[in-house]
Amino acid sequence: MNTAAQPRSTGTVPTTLVQHYRQVRAVTADLCRTLSPEDMTVQSMPDVSPSKWHLAHTTWFFERFLITEHLPGYRVFHPQFDYLFNSYYNTVGRMHPRPQRGLLSRPGVADILAYRQHVDNAMPVLLERATSDPDLAFLITLGLNHEQQHQELLLTDIKHVLSVNPLRPAWRELPSPAAGHAPELKYIPRAGGLMEIGHNGEGFAFDNESPRHRVFLEAHAITNRPVTNGEFLDFIRAGGYRIPELWLSDGWSMVQQRGWDRPLYWNPELDAEFALDGMRELDAAAPVTHVSYYEADAFARWAGARLPTEAEWETLASEQSMQGNFMEQGHYHPIAASAASSGAYQLYGDVWEWTMSAYTSYPGFKPLVGSLGEYNGKFMSSQMVLRGGSCVTPQSHIRSTYRNFFPPDARWQFSGLRLARDA
């Protein structure tokens, strides 16, 4: 892979990179601290990967795209791991089918931890070399951002694994947040005009956030906080899941085929939800989460509103300080605004916010060259953009230009919504 032609800056001074590497790698392992080997083996649906697969794949990313390319003489830990732990890089070679990740009992957790150690042992020389090699520094930073993405996925995946078990086991005991009171819902008027969005090149960003470019926005309004559980309960009680004209056609098909009548993880009585510490009482003031794009869109229509575009979201968010209920806060669950965030808007953290923007390329988009060009660009069809990070996103991973994307029927991420309307 030749990335030399790719001008960019990593935004990370070399000494920090070593520390960053150690810190990110340690966090990933720590997330598995309370999991048994059995927990770490199960794949509860094709979208979910076993925890031990996440541990191995993030390690493979460093081995494959950094070490074997830049460290002559390195011996790979196992010749078949290229097949087993390649996720979707067709240019690297064939890969184990994604829906069958849960069929692999070997390598076991202990073997995979040894694999992590093997790779960590090889990294110091590259981390040192990166102090004077910005391309290498970029690749390492990319690998760390990649691992942070998988920290979030590891948590959303293990949540799903535990949720399908009738015993409803907890991932970990968690603090009980104080009962919150959501701020009154208000629409913030926003002027239209020619705006700029996208990444400006300072610090790390994924290729899909660039280039920074102009967009014309009409005047509009956007709410001061996400929709809460209490508001979503009103939608349910008003028959929202039974009124076809509230739904996109594909969404209505999902409602009928899958029997959706409430967010994923809510109990049928609508008073509790499965969280990473097991079933807990539903907090009416906390942002609703684990809803699909279809549900977010239907709620908005019911509320006489719409979802914001990603440009509307980003121009607002770029004016806010980036704080919120992230992974580091230790809640691992959205919480009511008063407790969660000193910011006025909860734009960052808590829940990813569905936008009405389909995930597509910005004008002038250039994917990374080589295999890493498969990272983001090839998913630009039939997915919607989400913004702002969630309660399981590492804080150092997020920014106002960050574009997350999922298919409109996905519900197992911490996905919620904020309302907007035309002026």
- Interacting residues toward a second copy by CB under 8 A: 36-42, 44, 52, 80, 83-84, 88, 90-91, 96, 100, 102-109, 161-162, 164-167, 169, 194, 213-218, 220, 244-245, 247-252, 293-294, 297, 306, 356-358, 360-361, 363-364, 373-374, 378-382, 384, 407-408, 422
Least spacing, CB of residue 42 vs a second copy, in Å: 5
Q: Which of 70, 78, 93, 102 is nearest to 1 (CA)?
A: 70
Q: Please say which residue, 173 or 250, places its beta carbon nearer to a second copy.
A: 250
Contact between residue 273 and residue 282 where contact means Cβ atoms under 8 Å apart: yes
259: left (phi over 0), alpha (psi -120 to 50) or beta: left
Least spacing, CB of residue 379 vs a second copy, in Å: 5
Least spacing, CB of residue 239 vs a second copy, in Å: 14
Q: Please say which residue, 121 or 381, places its beta carbon nearer to a second copy.
A: 381
Residue 209 is classified by DSSP as G
- Give me the residues paired with residue 354 across strands: 386
Q: Please say which residue, 101 or 225, places its beta carbon nearer to a second copy.
A: 101
Least spacing, CB of residue 297 vs a second copy, in Å: 8
Q: Please say which residue, 284 or 291, places its beta carbon nearer to a second copy.
A: 291
- Structure tokens, 60: 């493979």
Q: Please say which residue, 3 or 41, places its beta carbon nearer to a second copy.
A: 41
Cα angle for residues 36, 19, 12 (degrees, 5° grid): 125
Least spacing, CB of residue 357 vs a second copy, in Å: 8
* CA within 13 Å, CB half, 306: 13
Determine the Cα–Cα distance for residues 238 and 311; give it in Å rounded to an integer: 31
Least spacing, CB of residue 80 vs a second copy, in Å: 6
Q: Please say which residue, 18 or 195, places its beta carbon nearer to a second copy.
A: 195
Q: What CA–CA distances, in Å, run from 34 to 14, 31, 44, 160, 208?
A: 33, 8, 19, 16, 35
Least spacing, CB of residue 107 vs a second copy, in Å: 7
Determine the Cα–Cα distance for residues 148 and 159; give it in Å rounded to an integer: 17
Least spacing, CB of residue 315 vs a second copy, in Å: 14
Contact between residue 212 and residue 273 where contact means Cβ atoms under 8 Å apart: no
Q: Please say which residue, 235 or 294, places its beta carbon nearer to a second copy.
A: 294
Determine the Cα–Cα distance for residues 281 and 266; give it in Å rounded to an integer: 10
Give the number of other Cβ atoms within 10 Å of residue 419's Cβ: 24
β 384-387/404-406 pair status: antiparallel
Q: Please say which residue, 164 or 178, places its beta carbon nearer to a second copy.
A: 164
Name the CA dihedral angle for 252, 405, 161, 119, rounded to a multiple of 10 degrees.
160
Looking at 64-104, list the stretches that DSSP marks H as alpha helix, in order from N- to C-terminal side.
68-70, 81-85
